[in-house]
């Protein structure tokens, strides 16, 4: 596909400087882009490449001042990074729009209801009483269990598994290998040391505009629902246990695990490899630094913790500063002890 600078500017509401008919057919990083490619500049660290790139069209911030003449056509916008993201989303939709229909071999139950412009890739399974909205793309080797509902404009990448009774809203993206609605880790200890499985009869509910990375596990609730609220973003390799609730616009980085029945608030930021115990609450706006272990509720909104066990971020920095001085402090204490001994010996000799 080929687009002119004029067409691109219309999509991102930008102002053109240069040839409005300059055409591009692909994207490139500003330091590597070639003729016929579109690039963008958002990070000042890459400003030097603005004057050497061969890109035909470049998206830049309105505030960007030019130090040299540039041959490329510029499109100025308030935020180049956001504009570029919008453009990529539009490009993806155009490509995905070409995929329609059911590839063979696949199984789609006769009781399933499919909306308009749905694509189901080869070797996929769609169970009984499934409801799929319009413009949904389900890529090969996916499994949609009985009674699952999927809203409009969703994308399920290859190998996604959605167990029975789960509910997905609109504009949801789930990447390859993720499992939605597997059994929660529920086992009752017995007197003889064995464990009896507790059936997990709830489901998972995912609201609008959620994105979930690859190879994640979102467990179904024991009773009720595991809930991911609208706008939440989950990275790859994340474990969400049964009956967890994740608030709106919360972001969670890779390799994080959240134990059962924990409630995470809105607009929370959780770094990579964080472990969160079960049955606690995380207040709105909280930030949890990477590799932290959270063992108790964070009740104060907008607080920041770090470490394992997780502790107030500012206090932790002070402790780390003291820790770095321990060798010197030890030396000074030894000198003081020696001085005290000398003074005591002098006192006894008087």
Binned at pLDDT 50, 70 and 90, residue 321 comes out as confident
Rounded mean pLDDT, 201-217:
98
Least confident of 3-12, 262-271, 307-316: 307-316
By C-alpha distance, which of 186, 310, 197, 162 is closest to 260?
Answer: 186
Average pLDDT over residues 301-312: 87
Q: Looking at residue 3, what is its pLDDT?
A: 92
Instruction: Say what the pLDDT of residue 130 is.
Output: 98
pLDDT at 97 over 70: no
Residue 131 pLDDT grade (very low, low, confident, very high; cuts 50, 70, 90): very high
Query: In a 10 Å sphere around its CB, with 0-12 CB exposed, 13-18 middle and 19+ buried, how is residue 336 labelled?
Result: exposed
Q: Provide the token pair at 141.
A: 């080797």
**Residue 316 — very low, low, confident or very high, per pLDDT cuts 50/70/90?**
confident
DSSP bridge partners of 61: 77
How are beta strands 304-306 and 311-312 bridged, if at all? antiparallel
Q: Decide if pLDDT at 140 tops 90.
A: yes
Asked whether 18 and 4 are in contact (CB, 8 A), the reply is: no
Per cent of the chain over pLDDT 70 is: 99
Between 1 and 17, residue with greater pLDDT: 17
Q: State residue 311's pLDDT score.
A: 64
Residue 258 is predicted with a pLDDT of: 98
Mean pLDDT of 219-245: 98
Q: Which residues make beta-bridge pairs with 263?
A: 245, 281
Is residue 266 scored above 70 in pLDDT? yes
Backbone angles phi, psi at 47, to 5 degrees: -60, -35
Mean pLDDT of 75-100: 88
Examine the pLDDT at 5 and tell me if it is beyond 80: yes
Model confidence pLDDT, tens digit, residues 279-288: 999 999 999 9
| More confident call, 309 vs 195 | 195
DSSP conformational letter for 223: S
The three-point CA angle 230-211-166 to 5° equals 70
pLDDT for 319 equals: 78
Q: Are 221 and 243 in contact (CB under 8 A)?
A: yes
Cα–Cα distances in angstroms (integers) from residue 290 to residues 62, 134, 234, 286, 308, in the given order: 34, 38, 14, 13, 10
73-77/57-61 β-pairing: parallel
* Cα–Cα distances in angstroms (integers) from residue 262 to residues 2, 47, 279, in the given order: 48, 44, 5
Q: What's the mean pLDDT in 317-322?
A: 78
d(C-alpha 15, C-alpha 83), whole Å:
12
Q: Which residues are catalytic?
A: 242
Q: What is the pLDDT of residue 282?
A: 98
Contact 218, 179 (CB under 8 A): yes
Query: What average pLDDT does range 89-115 have in this prediction?
Result: 89
- 65 pLDDT exceeds 80? yes
Give the lowest-confidence range in 123-127, 211-215, 247-251, 314-318: 314-318
What is the pLDDT, as a whole number, of residue 341?
87
Q: In this structure, what are the phi and psi dihedrals at residue 348, rounded to the nearest 5 degrees?
A: -70, -25
* Averaged pLDDT for residues 103-131: 97
Query: How much of the chain exceeds pLDDT 90, in percent?
Result: 83
Cα–Cα distance for residue pair 245/229, rounded to 1 Å: 8
Q: How far apart are the first and last CA of the chain?
A: 99
Q: State the Cα–Cα distance between residues 96 and 121, nearest whole angstrom.
A: 12
Task: Note the pLDDT of residue 158.
Answer: 97
Question: How high is the pLDDT of residue 346?
Answer: 80
Give the per-residue pLDDT at 310: 77
Burial 245-257 (b: 16+ CB within 10 A, else e): bbbbbbbbbbbbb
Q: What pLDDT shows up at residue 275?
A: 97
């Amino acid at each position: 596909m080929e687009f002119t600078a004029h067409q691109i500017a219309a999509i991102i509401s930008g102002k053109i400087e240069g040839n409005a008919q300059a055409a591009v057919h692909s994207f490139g990083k500003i330091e590597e882009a070639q003729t016929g490619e579109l690039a963008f500049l958002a990070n000042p660290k890459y400003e030097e490449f603005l004057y050497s790139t061969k890109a035909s069209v470049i998206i830049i911030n309105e505030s960007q001042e030019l130090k040299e003449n540039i041959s490329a056509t510029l499109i100025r916008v308030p935020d180049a990074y956001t504009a570029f993201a919008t453009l990529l989303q539009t490009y993806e939709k155009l490509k995905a729009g070409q995929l329609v229909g059911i590839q063979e071999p696949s199984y789609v139950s006769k009781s399933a209801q499919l909306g308009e412009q749905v694509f189901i890739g080869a070797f996929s399974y769609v169970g009984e009483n499934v409801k799929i909205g319009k413009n949904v793309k389900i890529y090969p080797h996916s499994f949609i269990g009985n009674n699952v509902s999927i809203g409009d404009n969703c994308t399920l990448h290859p190998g996604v598994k959605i167990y029975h009774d789960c509910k997905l809203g609109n504009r949801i993206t789930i990447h390859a290998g993720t499992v939605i609605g597997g059994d929660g880790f529920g086992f009752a200890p017995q007197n003889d040391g064995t464990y009896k499985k507790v059936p997990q009869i709830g489901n998972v509910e995912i609201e609008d505009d959620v994105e979930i990375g690859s190879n994640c596990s979102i467990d179904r609730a024991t009773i009720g629902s595991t809930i991911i609220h609208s706008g939440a973003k989950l990275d790859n390799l994340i474990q969400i246990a049964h009956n967890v609730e994740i608030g709106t616009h919360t972001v969670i980085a890779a390799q994080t695990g959240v134990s059962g029945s924990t409630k995470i608030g809105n607009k929370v930021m959780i770094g990579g490899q964080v472990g969160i115990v079960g049955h606690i609450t995380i207040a709105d706006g909280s930030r949890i630094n990477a590799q932290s272990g959270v063992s108790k509720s964070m009740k104060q909104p907008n607080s920041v913790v770090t470490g394992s066990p997780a502790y107030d971020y500012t206090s932790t920095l002070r402790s780390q500063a003291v820790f770095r001085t321990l060798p010197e402090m030890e030396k000074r204490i030894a000198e003081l002890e020696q001085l005290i001994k000398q003074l005591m010996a002098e006192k006894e000799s008087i």
